Amino acid sequence: MPVQLIAIDLDDTLLTPELTILPANLDAVRRALDAGIAVMLASGRTVESMMPYAVELGMKGRGLPMICANGSEVRDVDSGRLVRRLTLPREVCLLAVETMAGYGLPVQAYDEQGIIVTIHNRWTDRDRQLTGLPIRLAQGPGDIAREPRSKLLSAGTPEQVAGIVQALRERFAGLAEIVVSKPYFIEILPAGADKGEALSWVADIRGVPRSDVMAIGDAGNDVGMLRWAGVGCAPADARPEAIAAARHVSPLPHDAEAVADLIDRLALLPGKR
């Protein structure tokens, strides 16, 4: 059967280091949409920072979903409304602030106004550069835990992150998912949240079999969807864990039209899967 649904990660997959979409990748996504393939974005970002790319790609007006916050949210592209949401309860948010403070690291949450962070730090500034969201300082742990959160994020040097991630997974076992989305970003997600789980849910409600689902991603937070999709794909410069999870790896890096290469070969050209 042909590919009927494609999920594409944004940062370091579809987007260049300058946070733009290469013309060839833009064209490939639009051609897939025009061919009747449901193409969706699947990112750790918030809906506010994803929507401009969905508009640029021509996804609005097609009744498509969008996976946000690493699978914690599924949104309707046309309206931005929540279709499905998993959240972290207050007690887990407070535990996250306490735990990360013990490592001297910040915690940040997201709302409609932007990013709320416990400590001003260069990593949150990096997140602002990536997402374009404004930052404000939390007025204590209660600010982070004021309402259920789709995700929390902490950050440190790659060495710090690598040194504590296993301990965090043990500390939050059964309470939250711990994912490294970039070497310096630790994502704290609701229990069960994952891009692969969200992609499975979307495919099920759209009646698309797993074998006809394609996913393209580059990092640890993409591994779930790369493993679940029948056509899991990665750029040549993806993180080792993403390459290991993918069934197909482009010979091209993400900033040299890998997405276009994969869509053309595996979704638009018959008999090439």
The per-residue pLDDT for range 233-269, each reduced to its tens digit, is 999 999 999 999 999 999 999 999 999 999 999 999 8
Is 249 contained in some domain? yes
Our count of domains for the chain comes to 2
Residue 186 and residue 148 share a domain: yes
Closest listed residue to residue 7, CA positions, set 255, 211, 233, 163: 233
Taking 90 as the threshold, does the pLDDT of residue 133 lie above it? no
Residue 147 and residue 104 share a domain: yes
Taking 60 as the threshold, does the pLDDT of residue 86 lie above it? yes
Closest listed residue to residue 116, CA positions, set 147, 159, 95: 147
Residue written as token pair 């013309």? 23
Higher pLDDT, 132 or 223: 223
Query: 152: domain CATH number?
Result: 3.30.1240.10
Task: Note the pLDDT of residue 273.
Answer: 46
Q: Pick the last residue of a domain from 143, 166, 190.
A: 190
CA distance 153 to 181: 10
Taking 80 as the threshold, does the pLDDT of residue 270 lie above it? no
| 174-226 tens-digit pLDDT | 999 999 988 889 999 999 999 999 999 999 999 999 999 999 999 999 999 99
Query: How would you classify residue 212: left for phi > 0, otherwise alpha for psi between -120 and 50, otherwise beta?
Result: alpha
Q: How confident is the model at residue 271 (pLDDT cuts 50, 70, 90)?
A: low
Beta strand extents in the chain (DSSP E only): 5-8, 38-41, 65-68, 73-76, 82-85, 108-111, 114-117, 135-137, 152-155, 176-182, 185-190, 213-216, 231-234, 248-249
- Among the ranges given (25-39, 50-64, 98-112, 203-217), the one the predictor scored with the smallest mean pLDDT: 98-112
CA distance 33 to 134: 32
Could you give the percent of the chain with pLDDT greater than 90?
85
**What sign does the CA torsion over 145, 100, 50, 229 have?**
negative
- For the whole model, what pTM was predicted? 0.90
Is 264 contained in some domain? yes
Q: Which amino acid is at 111?
A: D
